[in-house]
Amino acid sequence: MTLISWVYPFWVSQMHLVDITMFYAAEGGGVSTYLNAKARWLARHSDIAHSILSPNVRGCGGGRIEIPALAVPGMHGYRMPLSVGGPARQLLGLRPDLVEVGDAGHCAWAALRARDALGMPVVAYYHSDLPRLVRRRFGAAASRGAGRYLARLYRQFDLVLAPSRLMVRQLAEMGIDDAVHQPLGIDAGVFYPQAGGAALRKKFGIGADTRLLVYAGRFTAEKKLNLLVDAVRLLGKPYHLLLIGGGADIARQSNITRMPFCRDQRLLARLLSGCDVLVHPGDCETFGLIVLEAMACGLPVVATGGAVTELVDARNGLLVRPDSAASLAEGIAAIYQRDLNTLGLASRRRARQHYDWNRVTPQLLRRYAALLTRAGPVEASLERLWAAGLSEDVFAESAAQAGGQCRADAVGGDAVGHGAGNIATGAAAASASESAALATLSAGLATVAAARTEAARAAVSPGAIAADSESASPALPAATVSGSAFETPAGYAAD
């Protein structure tokens, strides 16, 4: 019997979390990987309904809902919503308990507009280093303007998350002082060391003693793949580079093999495991999820900067000077003078101990719970999250971190705070005594429910959001718990 069946109150409807962003797409990227992992985790471990709204999910289904949008040049295939009003009305139709926004454009303003109508908490996740991207294209003045824009936007959110401490500091420099470090994660059941290096070398027609490097991700300017291609050219034999991804054309060389974007994470894990070293030439990453996935597969890493420096140090790789093909080549040659097995074990240990989704996602849910506790007139929101958010197999695993996440600073008075404290206490007790934990959790839920002075959230018609100039939004499918749909890429291209 699951924890949910013991404490989920019969009067509570299913909790609904919604993610909305223009940076979610079937073609992948760090944001897509994160949201797919969240969807799988919630479906596996909870009764929480989860929907993803994005302009790039035409025909996907399974809790993925398309936002009316158009293609914009220079957006690397991502489509931009036609307006703020369209996605705002879609959010109103879904009536979520909490919304997380993954970009700083139309979707963010739509979430704030829906929050004004529905009263649910809204969370911003700072995935993209917007000022730096703007600086590269339009100069320093425009970059400063982007920072002021982000400060004005994010100060209106109930919580701002950033995937790395570097990004937390950057947000603080913009005047957003209360951003919270919330790392991304990996599925340790998918990304782990596997045999296959010999078979991969045979498939690519290279010798068994070839030093096989790998890069995976988008082929865009900020990834600085030109530096990696030049470094491999400088190194020559016996080095060979596997590039997995798509985007801009890459110079063809005899010691470079290209493969298309890999939607199948298990296939990606096998490919990574078959290589020796991951090389990441870009220094603009806000986190570096592919670096973490390679670490989980037991690979040492050669990197240059950005938030990747929070994942890589002398124990599991090398950091080299950015923007230099010669420095990158020297670092690659140097790492082969060390014990790759020892470095790989350190990589694997760090990824598994600190970044498994079974550790990261409960941490995120506790942040949601703290927001819902403070949300005021949101009937039974806290008890719904704690009742539906963690099933017993992961509850004990995350319990050690649970105490202190739900504080008695909730809007709603001491009784609500006391109930939240009971919930956190019950979580902490779960690993020692399931029956005692269930009793304490139930008491916490009853206290919170009794302390609620507000009735159910007032119904708000989607018509309350004024229509913009675009045509009416399409009919919304019923909210469902989203699953995952991946496809195996067809073949590879060898230069």
Of 355, 388, 411, which one is at a domain's C-terminal end? 355
Residue 485, pLDDT > 80, answer: no
Range of weakest confidence among 43-47, 156-160, 296-300: 43-47
Q: Name residues whose C-beta falls within 8 Å of residue 204's C-beta, 6 or more positions apart in sequence.
A: 240, 242, 257, 494
Q: Is residue 451 part of a domain?
A: yes
Residue 482 lies in a domain: no
> Are 265 and 375 contained in the same domain?
no
Q: Name the β-bridge partners of 318.
A: 302
The answer to whether residue 305 scores a pLDDT higher than 60 is yes
pLDDT digits (tens, 9 = 90+) for 149-162: 999 999 999 999 99
178 or 447, greater pLDDT: 178
Q: Bridge partners of 49? A: 16
pLDDT at 61: 67
Contact (Cβ atoms closer than 8 angstroms) between residue 472 and residue 89:
no
Instruction: Reply yes or no on whether the pLDDT at 65 is more than 60.
Output: yes
Do 94 and 135 belong together in one domain?
A: yes
Q: Work out the average pLDDT over 3-8.
A: 30
Note whether 176 and 233 are same-domain residues: no
Is 365 among the domain residues?
yes
Q: Which of 355, 376, 392 is the last residue of a domain?
A: 355
Lowest mean pLDDT among 39-43, 55-59, 145-149, 302-306: 55-59
Residue 242, classed as helix, strand or coil, is strand
Tell whether 342 and 390 lie within a shared domain.
Answer: no
pLDDT at 480: 29
Which residue type sits at 110? A
What was the pLDDT predicted at 437?
Answer: 37
Q: Is the same domain home to 11 and 71? A: yes
**Dihedrals phi, psi of 51, to nearest 5 degrees:** -125, 150
Instruction: Say how far apart CA 27 and CA 77 lie, in whole Å.
Output: 9
Residue at 428 is within a domain: yes
Domain shared by 348 and 396, yes or no: no
Q: What is the pLDDT of residues 394-448, one digit of tens each?
A: 434 433 333 333 322 222 333 333 333 333 333 333 333 333 433 443 344 334 3
The region of weakest confidence among 60-64, 196-200, 308-312 is 60-64
Same domain, 345 and 364: no
With a cut of 80, say whether residue 465 has pLDDT above it: no
Vertex 190 angle, CA 189 and 192, to 5°: 85
Q: Is residue 241's pLDDT more than 60?
A: yes
Q: Which domain holds residue 298?
A: 197-355
Nearest residue to 304 (alpha-carbon basis) of 419, 403, 400, 222: 222
d(CA 415, CA 161): 29
- Is residue 480 in some structural domain? no
Asked whether residue 289 is assigned to any structural domain, the reply reads yes
Residue 263 has pLDDT above 90, yes or no: no
> Element (H or E) spanning 98, and its range?
strand 98-101
Give the other-Cβ count within 10 Å of 283's Cβ: 21
In this structure, are 159 and 244 located in the same domain? Answer: no
This prediction has a pTM of 0.75
Q: Given a cut of 80, is residue 477 above it in pLDDT?
A: no
User: Is residue 141 included in any domain, yes or no?
Assistant: yes
Q: What is residue 444's predicted lDDT score, i.e. its pLDDT?
A: 40
417: left (phi over 0), alpha (psi -120 to 50) or beta: alpha
CA distance 105 to 326: 38
CB contact set of 263 (below 8 Å; sequence gap of 6+): 26, 28, 486, 487, 488, 489
The yes-or-no verdict on residue 123 having pLDDT over 50 is: yes
d(CA 165, CA 180): 9
What mean pLDDT do residues 233-239 have? 95
pLDDT the model gives residue 399: 39
The residue ranking higher by pLDDT, 385 or 137, is 137
Q: Is residue 23 part of a domain?
A: yes
Cα–Cα distance measured from residue 472 to residue 455, given in angstroms and rounded to the nearest whole number: 32
136 and 25, same structural domain?
yes
Q: Identify the domain boundary among 325, 355, 385.
A: 355
Together in a domain, 229 and 314:
yes
pLDDT the model gives residue 190? 95
230 and 332 share a domain? yes
| Whole-angstrom distance, CA of residue 443 vs CA of residue 437 | 10
Q: What's the confidence (pLDDT) of residue 375?
A: 60
Task: Dump pLDDT digits (tens) for 323-368.
Answer: 999 999 999 999 999 999 999 999 999 999 999 999 999 999 999 9
Q: Are residues 162 and 98 in the same domain?
A: yes
User: Mean pLDDT in the chain?
Assistant: 78
How many domains are there within the chain?
2
CATH number where 457 lies? 3.40.50.2000
Residue 468 has pLDDT above 60, yes or no: no
Is 458's pLDDT higher than 70? no
